[in-house]
């Protein structure tokens, strides 16, 4: 079956995207590295830098351990006002085969609600991912969140 007509693959991919969103939005961030392969790269980059061909990311975790470290820092060291995210994920698609896995993409909009109750659209953009199968489960070999929203309001703590 071709990747672009494989509805089982698409359903599994949607489930992976949903799992990521639920973990972040429920603030169960310690579970997030489990969705990455050990060497999986997670980056958040602005569309501006991406389109200029500039390498800088807002967040650059080279391996699931660096993602875990960022979450440890957030829990034990960083100071910020409490807030929660709500992800809206759409237009999830498999775009190509790559190695033993697939290239995939999807859109996200993240609303952020502060402790005082105010909600704003904090980020919107697209995921560009490399997804592989590990012991029967889909995982991110690479997850890159490209932000259309170039201006970060106040700060970016939790992953997108």
Partner 1 sequence: MDDAKPFAWPDDDISRVPYQVYTDAALYALEQERIFRGAAWNYVGLEAEVPNEGDFKTTYIGDAPIVVTRGADGVVNVMVNRCAHKGSLVCFKQRGNAPELTCVYHNWTYGLAGELTGVAFRRGVGGKGGLRASFDQKAHGLRRLRVETYRGLIFATFSNATPAFKDYAGPDMIAAMDRVLVKPLRVLGYHSQILPNNWKLYVENNKDSYHASLLHVFHNTFGVVRPTMGGGIKLGHDGWHHLSYTQREALADDHIGKEKVRSLQESYKLRDAAMMEHKLELGDLVTNSIQTIFPTLVVQQILNALATRQLIPKGPDRSELIWTILGFEGDDPDLHELRLKVNNLVGPAGLISMEDGCVGGWVQRAAKGDPAARSIMPMGEGVEPSEGSRITEAAVRGFWRGWRACMGI
What does the binding site for partner 1 look like in residue numbers (CB under 8 A)?
44, 46, 48-49, 52, 54-63, 65-66, 68-70, 72-73, 76-81, 150-157
Distance in angstroms (rounded) separating the CA atoms of residues 62 and 43: 8
Shortest distance in whole angstroms from residue 84 CB to partner 1: 16
Distance in angstroms (rounded) separating the CA atoms of residues 42 and 47: 16
| Residue closest to 64 by CA, chosen among 128, 1, 141, 155 | 141
CB-based contact 20:32 (threshold 8 Å) = yes
Shortest distance in whole angstroms from residue 14 CB to partner 1: 27
Tokens of 6: 């494989």
Nearer CB in complex with partner 1: 3/60: 60
Shortest distance in whole angstroms from residue 96 CB to partner 1: 26
Nearer CB in complex with partner 1: 45/94: 45
Nearer CB in complex with partner 1: 28/150: 150
């Amino acid at each position: 079956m071709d990747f672009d007509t494989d509805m089982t693959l698409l359903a599994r991919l949607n489930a992976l995207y949903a799992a990521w969103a639920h973990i972040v939005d429920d603030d169960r961030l310690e579970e997030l590295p489990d969705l990455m392969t050990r060497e999986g790269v997670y980056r958040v980059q602005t569309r501006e830098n991406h389109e200029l061909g500039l390498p800088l990311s807002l967040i650059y975790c080279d391996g699931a351990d660096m993602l875990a470290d960022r979450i440890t820092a957030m829990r034990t060291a960083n100071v910020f006002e409490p807030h929660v995210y709500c992800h809206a994920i759409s237009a999830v698609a498999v775009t190509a085969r790559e190695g033993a896995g697939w290239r995939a993409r999807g859109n996200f909009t993240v609303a952020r609600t502060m402790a005082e109750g105010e909600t704003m659209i904090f980020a919107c953009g697209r995921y560009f991912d490399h997804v592989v199968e590990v012991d029967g489960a889909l995982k991110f070999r690479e997850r890159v969140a490209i932000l259309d929203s170039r201006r970060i309001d106040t700060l970016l703590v939790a992953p997108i």
